[in-house]
Chains A and B, each alone.
Chain A
Amino acid sequence: MTIAVVDYGMGNLRSVAKALMHVAPDAEVVVTSDAAVVDRAERVVLPGQSAMPDCMRMLEQSGLAEPVRRAAATRPFLGICLGLQMLFETSAEGPTPGLGILAGDVVRFDEAAMARGGERCKVPHMGWNRVLQRGSHPLWSGIDDASRFYFAHSFHPVPADRGIVAGETLYPVAFTCAIAKDNIFATQFHPEKSHRAGLRLLANFVAWDGP
């Protein structure tokens, strides 16, 4: 099996690739900027760091936006962090539109809400927080509800369709931290940096043949 980690010049792809190799020693994990390789891969992972407008610009410039759309429409697809945010229509981080594969927007943590209820929540939301699973999904298999995953972000998605919410996290109010729709699964947290629970999620993705 070939798992393509899409390389459009943004972020630490090595960690994602190494974690996938760790859980899938028999798979061929390739970090690639080649559209043809993405098109041929049986699994596609879209990571991403930094700002959404920069990521979108780099994805378009590298000629990988269309292969990513095709993968998201047809094969098991995992978006991580900015790779989740880019699936939506707009981001408060800048005017560049996202891929628009999912209806909804990406917003910044609400400053007013951060100070509510005593302890101040700082931004970026940085560290290990609980992921409350919303509904069952093959990618949650073997992972306890409310397990902690590693987050490092200041923006989060607000899906138009609540039906795609696969996980929520409290900071201090609930925000969407995982979405699932057809063959797409995407996380705001970093499974590749989330120790046992994260590696299990990646192993589940490798074993997942889609809906």
Chain B
Amino acid sequence: MSLAKRIIPCLDVAGGRVVKGVQFENLRDAGDPVEVARRYDAEGADELAFLDIRASIESRGLLYDMIEAVADQVFIPLTVGGGVNTVDDIRALLNAGADKVSINTAAIRNPGFVSEASTHYGAQCIVAAIDARRRDAGGWEVYTHGGRTATGLDAVAWAREVAARGAGEILLTSMDQDGARAGFDLALTRAVADAVDVPVIASGGVGALSHLVDGIREGGADAVLAASIFHYGEFSIGDAKAAMRAAGIEVREP
């Protein structure tokens, strides 16, 4: 096996700025997106994820401008999500310089959208984002709207469905763990990673470098995503790669 496990810093953006909050509340400013992206690129990030958390029609133009500005200077893959509802939204993001687009709520409203998007643009650029919460009775349920709205869908079954419909990757976020800095929901990650043939990105809950290692080793993820541990200078991407390498995980040398 020589495919490297990926480390993906996630930049939550709102109004053209990078922000980070606990469970999508209490947003704090974390910097200019282009500056942050350049720093991560220089540190050896394998990919960058942008999530427009206040996706609104008025701020859409700001997002496209921001993606263009980042794509002009950073030559690694960019995944962009938040408020992606139509194939035209996907086209606009790809034209702005995104390599992959993540779809969340729109897929739940209309699962056929995943099929349509994948047919139009190819599985390699369609990421299905799944936000899940633990159920008291066991298993996990899919949520939308930043974890506020329950859908009644079982997360593992939903992952299978979006993969079958042509999503080329799954971005899996535990809404229980998100922002809590206590590590990924490893059981959730493992359940989804084992259920689908497409790569899975683990997200939500990273507070220490060992959590990244656990996501790969215990969770079976193909990539790990984190935000706050990188944004505030606590750890660099290089620190994260060193920790993965020390644990025997293959990573790309920057």
Interface residue total, chain B, C-beta cutoff 8 A? 38
Q: Tell me which of A50, A152, A170 contacts B99 (CB under 8 A).
A: A152
Residue of B nearest to A169 (CB): B2
**9-residue interface stretch from B68-76, B128-136, B179-187, B228-236:** B68-76
Contacts of A63 in B (CB 8 A): none
Q: A127, B71: Cβ atoms under 8 Å?
A: no
Alpha-carbon separation in the docked complex, A130 to B5 (Å): 12
| Interface presence of A125 (CB below 8 A) | yes
Contact of B198 among A124, A148, A169 (CB under 8 A): A124
- With contact pairs A18-B71, A119-B1, A199-B75 given, residues A128 and B252 touching in the complex (Cβ less than 8 Å): yes
Closest-by-CB residue of A relative to B95 is A14
Determine, out of B31-39, B118-126, B202-210, the stretch whose residues face the partner at the interface: B118-126
Interface code A12-53, partner B: CB below 8 Å = 1, 0 otherwise?
101100110010000000000000000000000000011100
Which of the candidate stretches A68-76, A99-107, A178-186, A187-195 sits at the interface with the other chain? A187-195
Interface residues of B: mostly helix, strand, loop or mixed? loop
Contact B3 A171 (CB under 8 A): yes
B32 to chain A, nearest CB (A): 19
Question: Is A121 close to B, CB under 8 A?
Answer: yes
Q: A125-139 vs B: 1/0 string, CB under 8 Å?
A: 111111000000000
B174-203 at interface with A (beta carbon < 8 Å): 197-199
Q: Which of B8-39 contact A (CB under 8 A)?
A: none
Residue pairs across A and B with CB atoms within 8 Å: the count is 107
Known contacts A127-B3, A128-B252; is-contact A152 B168 (Cβ 8 Å): yes
Given A15-B97, A194-B75, A199-B75, A153–B124 Cβ distance below 8 Å?
yes
| Contact of A198 with B199 at beta-carbon distance under 8 Å, contacts A14-B95, A169-B2, A170-B2 already known | no
Majority-rule SS of A interface residues: mixed
Q: Is B211 an interface residue (CB 8 A)?
A: no
Residue in contact with B75 in the complex, picked from A12, A169, A192, CB distance below 8 Å: A192
Question: Which of A124, A128, A153 is B46 in contact with, Cβ under 8 Å?
Answer: A128
- Least CB separation from B1: chain A residue: A119
**Are B76 and A150 within 8 A (Cβ)?**
yes
Instruction: Decide if B222 touches A130 in the complex (CB within 8 Å).
Output: no
Does A11 lie at the interface of the complex (its beta carbon under 8 Å from any beta carbon of B)?
yes
Determine the distance from Cα of A14 to Cα of B67 in the docked complex, in whole angstroms: 11
CB–CB B1/A148 < 8 A: no
Distance (Å) between the CB of B163 and the closest chain A CB?
10
Known: A50-B122, A124-B199, A148-B252. A12 touches B99 (CB 8 A): yes
- Within 8 Å by CB of A18, from B2, B5, B97, lies B97
- Inter-chain CA distance A22–B100, complex, in Å, is 22
> B222 to A126, Cβ gap below 8 A?
yes
Residue of B nearest to A199 (CB): B75
13 A-B residue contacts at CB 8 Å?
A14-B96, A18-B97, A50-B120, A51-B119, A119-B1, A122-B222, A124-B123, A124-B199, A126-B168, A127-B3, A127-B47, A148-B4, A170-B1
Chain A contact residues, CB within 8 Å of chain B:
11-12, 14-15, 18-19, 22, 49-51, 114, 119-130, 148, 150, 152-154, 169-172, 190, 192-195, 198-199
CB-based closest 4 A-B pairs: A50-B122, A152-B124, A128-B252, A128-B4
